[in-house]
Structure 1
């Protein structure tokens, strides 16, 4: 694509943004399956290691396929915004979160976050960071007065970590208002945008410093590759400190997974439109079913964060959860009766996936803590797929 041509649509950017000219004129981005890259001369090698000359050295440090995937996601996160950001592709979402945390925090710092986080994020906050003398502080980030009170009392808080919509209660927090508070108290603000994707929500619009994704999910869309990305607006920091930490932690992606990610991103807009329309109808159906105690979907007016979701999201999304009246045994019976929908963890693929957080993604979170966060024994998490809506509803009906 001519670099002077300005794209007007998100779908076009999903297909073309971030593409770099390929010397052999391949139509599709090639898979660079090489661990190392050669130098024409010893002097060129010296210049590349010193940073004097751009170029690839070693695939743990960077790879053309990986670069294109990262650049495309960065372009989507800032589509329509007058902002330059830089992305670094990782081997997983947790690798991206690790780079974020370890490049920004040191012993004695504190991290402010909220309940109902992805299980892996919760564990790194409570099981890894405290051993490094970095303390997590959890507060209901929907209560802005309480947040400010905590910030006044804890001047060692360095970073505010958001996940919205959150996993698995679909809790939404106000990115704009929290970012304002963060800037008022000189905090770094980061947001996990995995559930929403850049198509539904752009946290950089609200002045956050970093965005992370598990690219395994909706960005890939087909469940074919694990990946993550860290995107930052401080280009110098991303090129130096973040890059150094990323390379030394060793959480790099690879050419093949990056290639699969690029192919998935191309259909992001049309996939998300179908995911979202199906999810809205499924949520309405579940809310009216007498076997269900509660449905967590921010598109429903019954969800406490409905207005926040409408404010910052194009659509409430494809993820929901619901609580069965029959508790843990009812959840087991329901899961076992599914005939088309898939019993598995993860999310973001084109097929409808259901999981039981209490025994799966949040198994390692103590029961008392889980329930305080709204993750009850009977809670079912659902990734609504792009299948025919009637088939999804029919499977749910017979299982319920």
Structure 2
């Protein structure tokens, strides 16, 4: 069991003890004697040893000192990226994975055993929820309980002496709901339970869960950290040594699900522009959210930057920005949503998010289609709910494209 201790500091104090993320994102540790200003790509699978040391163990190999043995264990390019990720999230150790799904699966496999109890947000990404239900609950015998984690009291009511892990996403996909990380961490501390937070939607630029009491953070680095829709990856960052030890064993020894050097390079390259991208994503998203909020064809807009969002105050307190993803519900039915989406030209119809280009999708027919209609209704995912990942294009062009979609509904 991993003990949980919260520092005796206020939420705002913990959040402000941060260096400037714009500088961290650019200040790459290259691990190169040549003095590269960008992270070089190391493709070697194995590394020459200076000599044969019969007393050498894996624990003696320290990538931080430039020591490498085999790329499954550590690779200079991946190690450089992991140092960046740890710095961005304010953690001690980071691990780069082949996907965000791999990062989530490894985190949970590292922390729970059959018979353990897990409290999970009922509004998880559909793939993550299926993983918790099918793999961990049905196959591995983990007692997974889904609750409305927007209410910390609901999390508290679900906790038991057997609870080992609390798992949340904030903001969520696609309804953009928020969890009070600070309050949930306090609840988990009473049970010595570990708190994991999927921080993909906010990115470290707008939210740092470790500073709010979480034990580990995961990302789909495919999204905002990479930012260019050209590399699939995941990350796990922690400031807990025991969590780090467990994750390291499962990733490097048991599962081998690490990120490849070229993808590590691409994500490191993307991180350099994280600050300027996130600022533009947020500015554009806020402008479009306000535009949609007043549109006659739109019933509801979900974006934490709007005062109408039920957790707007929490967003202002917990986050340093409101992010680049919003969702909205059209008046009409799925056929209307299909007509709207297929009329768009600047915004691309595609799954995923967080790239420089704007993407739109219909969760009920795409990312959340595997869920039953009843499950989607329970989560508030209607047939006309459209998720928009707002890119960095000119906002007037984006607004004009949405008008093109609305015009198609009137034709």
Into which bin does the TM-score normalised by the smaller protein fall? over 0.9
Q: Give me the CA root mean square deviation.
A: 1.4
C-alpha contact (below 8 Å) 2:100/2:219 kept by paired residues = yes
TM-score (norm 1): 0.93
Distance in structure 2 (CA, Å) of the matches to 1:277 and 1:237: 36
Distance in structure 1 (CA, Å) of the matches to 2:313 and 2:145: 26
Specify the SS of the correspondent of 2:53. helix
Q: What is the aligned counterpart of 1:100 among 96, 107, 111?
A: 107
Which residue of the partner structure matches residue 217 of structure 1? 223
Which residue of the partner structure matches residue 3 of structure 1? none
Q: Deviations over 1:164-201 (max 9, x none)?
A: 00011000011111111110121100100000011100
Q: CA deviation at 1:326?
A: 1.2
Which residue of the partner structure matches residue 37 of structure 1? 47
Distance in structure 2 (CA, Å) of the matches to 1:132 and 1:283: 42
Specify the SS of the correspondent of 1:229. strand
2:144 pairs with 1:136: yes
Q: What is the aligned counterpart of 1:244 among 240, 249, 253?
A: 249
2:44 pairs with 1:56: no
Which residue of the partner structure matches residue 23 of structure 2? 12
Q: CA deviation at 1:303?
A: 1.2
Which residue of the partner structure matches residue 115 of structure 1? 122
Which residue of the partner structure matches residue 12 of structure 2? none
Specify the SS of the correspondent of 1:138. strand
Distance in structure 1 (CA, Å) of the matches to 2:214 and 2:30: 27
Q: CA deviation at 1:253?
A: 0.4
Distance in structure 2 (CA, Å) of the matches to 1:156 and 1:375: 32
TM-score (norm 2): 0.90
What stretches of structure 2 of length at least 5 have no aligned partner? 1-17, 407-411
Specify the SS of the correspondent of 1:158. strand
Distance in structure 2 (CA, Å) of the matches to 1:50 and 1:387: 48
Q: CA deviation at 1:9?
A: 2.7
2:273 pairs with 1:234: no
Which residue of the partner structure matches residue 375 of structure 2? 369
Distance in structure 2 (CA, Å) of the matches to 1:50 and 1:9: 35
Specify the SS of the correspondent of 2:339. helix
2:81 pairs with 1:69: yes
2:178 pairs with 1:172: yes
Tell me the number of residue pairs that the alignment of Structure 1 and Structure 2 aligns.
Answer: 383
Which residue of the partner structure matches residue 4 of structure 1? none
Distance in structure 2 (CA, Å) of the matches to 1:8 and 1:177: 24
Which residue of the partner structure matches residue 208 of structure 1? 214
